[in-house]
Amino acid sequence: MSDVTLSFIHRYQPPARADATTLLLLHGTGGDENDLLPLGKNLMPDAGMLSPRGRVLEQGMPRFFRRLAEGVFDVEDLKQRTAELADFIGEAARHYGFDARRVIAVGFSNGANIAASLLLSRRSVLAAAVLFRAMVPFVPEAPPSAGGASVLLSNGASDPLIPAAETERLAGLLRSAGADVTVEVQPAGHHLTPRDVTQARLWLASLKPAQGIRA
């Protein structure tokens, strides 16, 4: 199902039950609203799926925010786009009738970066997040509050874009904001692997008793 009358072009697939979790699927550069739907179904088969398309184009490729160079983000644009995405989640929750308190982000690369930005600037929007190949999106001027959020950060040991120090910097920033962060380092580069998916599926299952997450 898609509805272009909302503020993002997107796909929405309702959950198996009205009280189930909704996965917010956030694609990488050059992806679209269809890319992560199979991944979402693999991770939580009965969850709802909300998958927006990034509204920024880089040489014709959709992204969620602008960058000035590889790994150098346009922070003002990032903050604006993060606010727009947060507003869209609330808009979609009202339109489709899912519980906005049970939204878990699953993001890859550029999508993981804007999910991290949501955690640092609009904490109440996400119950938890799975961040595949994420970097520090920005460093808040004031100490952020991500208290109560559970975050899985899954990065590649040989990723040419994200050195190990960057992974630890992001984990440290989220922890200092009060998030419960699990770091998994994969024997891989920037691409997603079956091990990423298996570990994320198990991690999501482990959240259910503690946070009322329902698949």
Q: 176-187: per-residue pLDDT in tens?
A: 888 999 999 999
Give the pLDDT confidence score for residue 145 in this predicted structure: 63
Residues 55-79: pLDDT tens digits?
999 999 999 999 998 888 999 999 9
Q: Which of 27, 121, 154, 159 is catalytic?
A: 159
Indicate if 196 belongs to the active site: no
Any idea what DSSP says for residue 59?
T
Does residue 2 fall inside a structural domain? no
Catalytic member of 7, 32, 77, 190:
190
Query: Is residue 115 a part of any domain in this protein?
Result: yes
Q: Is the pLDDT of residue 2 over 60?
A: no
Structure tokens at 175: 């922890």
94 found inside a domain: yes
The pLDDT, as a whole number, for residue 210 is 47
**What's the token pair of residue 67?**
């960058």
Structure tokens that stand for 187 in this block: 């024997």
pTM across the whole model: 0.93
Residue 167 lies in a domain: yes
What per-residue confidence (pLDDT) applies to 18?
75
Name the catalytic one among 51, 109, 150, 154: 109
| Residue 3 located in a structural domain | no
pLDDT band at 147, cuts 50/70/90? low
How far is the C-alpha of 34 from the C-alpha of 27, rounded, in Å?
A: 9
- Domain of 30 in residue numbering reads as 10-211
- 165 lies in a domain? yes
109 tagged catalytic: yes
Both tokens assigned to 45: 């088969």
The whole-number pLDDT of residue 69 equals 86
For β-strands 67-69 and 72-73, DSSP reports them as: antiparallel
Q: Is 181 exposed, middle or buried (0-12, 13-18, 19+ CB in 10 A)?
A: buried
How many domains are contained in the chain? 1
Amino acid at 117: S
For 118, how many CA atoms within 13 A lie in the half-sphere containing its CB? 33
Domain assignment of residue 4, yes or no: no
- Rounded mean pLDDT of 15-36? 93
> Quick check: is 17 in a domain?
yes
The CATH number linked to 101 is 3.40.50.1820
For residue 54, pLDDT over 60 is answered with yes
